[in-house]
Amino acid sequence: MEKIQLELGNGLLPLVLNAIGEYILVTMEEPWGFLEEQLTNPPKKVIFNKDTQLENLEELIQREKTGVDYIIGCGGGTSCDTAKFLSWKWEIPLIISPSIISVDAWLCRSIAVRVNHKVKYIGDVRAQRYLIDYELIKKAPKVLNWAGIADIISITSALGDWVIAKENFNEMFDQNIFVTAKEIVQKLMLQADEINQVSNKGIEALIKGQVDEVELCEKWGSARPEEGSEHFLAYCLENNTHDKYIHGNLIALNVLVALKLQREKAVFDYNDLQNFFDRVGIQYQPKNQGIKEEDYKKALELVQDYVRREELLKGLWSLNRVFDEEGEYSIQGILDWIYAF
């Protein structure tokens, strides 16, 4: 398996862009405002894209194609997935430099697109270079970088799902992968204060956690060690509302819900995770995310059918009985709990 090689430094991205040939830059307004004045070798074209619906991306490749040496992805998940899509379709070398580390999309070989508002993974593309520019990342709002813990912390509930799938559905299981995944989370949780400060050490902890998680999933051959009930509940909510949420904040909330509902099968204690989230500063509270209680209730009511219909990985939502009729493990009990955060 090809290891991910990172280049790290202050002011790294402008240095690289000023020394390469012609390129298209896929980015967002904020990092572009920071970069533009530092470039003596400006991009041949700048693309701002906020929509990863597949039909929009297909239109983009027809409309924007220009002969260049590189595609540069600089932004969050949407910019990086758009850059990966263009690189894949046009067969042009890719350079990725995340301006926000709120999700792990910048590292993944697959491209997250949406078809009828549902997440679908397509393609296979590895960037030629991964540039971690501390100065650039620190320009982003801290709350967005804090959200970067979620695609690592989702391991906590994904592992509980894996235990449930092994015991109830005879799913393949690898103890070494399982233990390694646990260790990735445990190491990250030791860096809560550095992550909160978005210090170089905190950025490195986030980056290392994301790299280790992505490489572990590639080694296993699927996202099983990292993605489970917490992500599927998010997909169900988004499918119902068609609203956009900060991915990491929503996943963090769902991690707490999934861990509580996994009960004795949970691999991590949800109280420990909530304390970690509070130390980091991540905005997991549903009220802070603008999630209406009736929308979250509907997602809890429909998520089991959603997982079956979409043929997602088995786990918590595949059990016949997830919720109690009343009390803290009922749907209303979960809602009362999280809306008191």
pLDDT at residue number 104: 85
Instruction: Using the predicted structure, report yes or no on whether residue 219 has a pLDDT greater than 80.
Output: yes
Give 237-278 as a DSSP string: HHHHH-----HHHHHHHHHHHHHHHHGGG-SS-HHHHHHHHH
For 260-305, write each residue's pLDDT tens digit: 999 999 999 999 999 999 999 999 999 999 999 999 999 999 999 9
Q: State the pLDDT confidence band at 65, using cuts at 50, 70 and 90.
A: confident
Same fold across 6-138 and 149-338 = no
- Eight-state DSSP code of residue 3: P
Distance CA 95, CA 207 (A): 16
Domain coordinates in residue numbering, the chain:
6-138, 149-338
In the predicted model, is pLDDT for residue 230 greater than 80? yes
**Is pLDDT at 243 greater than 80 in this prediction?**
yes
The pTM of this model reads 0.90
pLDDT of residue 75: 93
Lookup result for tokens 């220009």? 66
Query: What pLDDT band is residue 118 in, cutting at 50, 70 and 90?
Result: confident
Q: What is the structure's pLDDT at 159?
A: 99
Q: Which CATH class is domain 149-338?
A: mainly alpha
pLDDT of residue 66: 84
For β-strands 94-96 and 111-115, DSSP reports them as: unpaired
Cα separation, 129 vs 96, in Å, equals 6
- Looking at residue 326, its pLDDT comes to 97
Q: What is the pLDDT of residues 166-192, one digit of tens each?
A: 999 999 999 999 999 999 999 999 999
Please give the pLDDT value at position 2.
Answer: 72
CATH number attached to the domain at 6-138: 3.40.50.1970
